[in-house]
Every structure is written in C-alpha cells, then in structure tokens.
Amino acid sequence: MPSELETAMESLIKVFHRYASKDGRSGTLSRRELRELMENELSNFLLSQKDPAAIDKIMKDLDTNGDGQVDFEEFVSLVVGLSIACEQCYQTHMKKQGKK
C-alpha cells in the first residue's frame, strides 16, 4: 500500500497531467491550462488567479526554458514554492500557539 507521501506525489502528478492533456501539446501546460489548474486546484492557496497579470508573471517565472509552456519540472518549482510558503506559515502559526 502506498504511503501518504507517495499518494500525495501521485496526486500532484495526476493533477498536472489532467490539465496538461487538455489542449495543444500534452505533457506541458499552456497559459490557459495553467490558469485553469490554478483556478480549480489552488483556489484556497492563491487569491491572485483572477488577475491576468499575476498569471502572466507566474507563467514567466515558471517557464525557465522560455518555450511558452510549463513542463512537469517547471511545475515542480511551483509546488516547491507553495510548500515553502506553506511551511513558513505553519511555523509562524506554531510559534503563535506556543506564546499563548
């Protein structure tokens, strides 16, 4: 039976490929696919996905090879960035609780 961590990794991969195979090149996210992914999957973590300029900026930041698409490795940077933010949030939260 897969562990929690393995299941989590598998679901990240599944989410990526579900959106990546929607249109155009499958295996990479176009700008529209990235927007859909963020709107549907990250609505609690990110509030800026309604802002087209923010999507453009995230897309540009992620697309390290400059081909206008986000491949899985580039998508992993988004996950890493979100995890770091989430971890910092958690640490601050723990400190606050400790003080009380």
16 or 62: whose CB is closer to other proteins?
A: 16
Binding site for other proteins (CB under 8 A): 1-13, 15-17, 27, 37, 41-42, 44-45, 72-73, 76-77, 79-80, 82-84, 86-87, 90
**Shortest distance in whole angstroms from residue 69 CB to other proteins:** 15
Q: What is the rounded end-to-end Cα distance, in angstroms, of the chain?
A: 40
**Shortest distance in whole angstroms from residue 60 CB to other proteins:** 20
Please say whether the beta carbons of 76 and 63 come within 8 A: no
- Report d(CA 34, CA 81) in Å as an integer: 15
**Shortest distance in whole angstroms from residue 4 CB to other proteins:** 5
Give 79's Cβ-side CA count (13 Å radius): 16
6 or 61: whose CB is closer to other proteins?
A: 6
- Report d(CA 64, CA 34) in Å as an integer: 15
